[in-house]
Amino acid sequence: MPTQSISMSNYHKYSQDFQADPQAQLARNAAVQRDIRELALNWESFRQIDHTFSQVITGELPITNQKKSGRCWGFAGLNLLRIALSRRYNLDSFEFSQNYFMFHDKLEKANYFLENILSTLEEPWDSRLLMHLLSDPIQDGGQWDMFVNLIEKYGLVPKSVMPESFQSSESMMMNRIVTRKLREFAAQLRHAHHRDGVGLNELRALKEDMLGVVYRLLAIHLGNPPQTFDWQARDKDNKFLRYEGLTPQQFYRDHVQVSLADKICLINAPMQDKPYQALFTVEYLGNVVEGRIVKYINLEVDRLKEYAIATLQDDQPVWFGCDVGKHFHRDLGVMDMDLYDYDLFYGVPIGMDKSTRLEYGDSMMTHAMLFTGVDLKDGRPRKWRVENSWGEKVGQKGYFIMSDSWFDEYLYEIVIDKQYLPEEIRQLYDQEPIRLAPWDPMGALAH
């Protein structure tokens, strides 16, 4: 009769079954000494790795490197914008300052966090919501609409004007210090309200002083951002360019000339609580207070492919978010559902469908990159060319391959300009969104 605990008779049976299985013992002998990902690598898929594509955009640039930071979403966004700038000025290399972007993201997230604390003053200290808000208030991650907010408010500067610091490239200790201070500030605001009866206006005045402290901490770690700067470069034809007295907002508006406000985020989330052709937002997810809120339209995966292909065929890159760690080989730079044969190696079927993985915590958005190409055969995609931000030592000098079957299973969002979308999708984006819980997997890229 089945029991609640593990019976000793079952325990001995499990051991005997394992000892009687030569395949299991062979797998054990290998696994105790080597990386599973190397042992389970499928030779048939490995031998067919091919970095050629039928469609690749013009203006690809040397790869960037986010190093030991979680700024993939910002790197991907800045990499999209630098393609436009390099085309405009005929440049063969250029980077925007990821450090400048990071500074303002942290500052705005600190304000967003403190405002969320003020809006939840009556929430119990141990509620799930408050614990969520306190868990990681200035994490490195983010979403597309958060990227748009920062660029439209603070503009852009070249990397030469505000280069990387040690802390921007290795952000753990900076995040830890600033997070500790923000939790201290959260306690002070709540105590002032509950113990001393301090009203909201007075609390906001305290908050403004707190943000001055945050600015100080960020400037110590990252350097203080420039208000004006000069930019000069040589183009591919050796023509010298110089622009003086620029503000970051001018640089974005006059020199990049990309309308981020015209781009819409689409997701593929086949979950029970997310119907297709519906607009969603995630509560308490954002950075700039009173800025653009995070919004997604949920569509079938083939529609995401259709719009991504149309964009690439028009010679434009595509920002996307995915779960990069699954069926992925970092050194080879390959994302492929057939890359590993875990079922064969373990002698046990391992797998869930996309909906189940999302609903049962096995998958979520973890990384953002750019599509810069696609390989089409008879009009259908076979694989996708990916620009990553992990340096040139992985993949093909930093460029990766995503199989089309991997796109089906682990790609969750793409950003598409309105001009490539039908009118009904554009109209849907202007409706009131369905609100998702702060811990929904569709908000995971920002955490």
Considering 99, 268, 388, 447, which one is annotated as catalytic? 388
H/E stretch holding 217 = helix 200-222
Considering 193, 327, 367, 447, which one is annotated as catalytic? 367
- Rounded CA separation 171/179 (Å): 12
- CB neighbour list of residue 424: distance below 8 Å, 6 or more residues apart: none
The DSSP annotation for 374-421 comes to EEEETTEEEEEEEE-SB-TTSTBTTEEEEEHHHHHHHEEEEEEEGGGS
Among 74, 264, 102, which residue's Cα sits nearest to residue 82? 74
Among 231, 226, 227, 225, which residue's Cα sits nearest to residue 244? 231
- CB neighbour list of residue 150: distance below 8 Å, 6 or more residues apart: 74, 101, 104, 105, 108, 287, 288
> CB–CB of 206/115 below 8 Å?
no
Sign of CA dihedral 339, 342, 345, 348: negative
Q: How far is CA 227 from CA 101, 251, 266, in A?
A: 13, 11, 34
Q: Could you tell me the two tokens for 262?
A: 């015209």
- Centroid of chain to Cα 150: 15
Place of tokens 């000494």: 33
Place of tokens 């393609």: 83
> Is there a catalytic annotation at residue 72?
yes
Strands 296-298 and 263-267: parallel
Place of tokens 């790869």: 63
Considering 72, 221, 268, 322, which one is annotated as catalytic? 72
Strands, E, within 50-124: which ranges? 55-56
> Is there a catalytic annotation at residue 191?
no
- CB neighbour list of residue 89: distance below 8 Å, 6 or more residues apart: 233, 235, 241, 255
Residues annotated as catalytic are 72, 367, 388
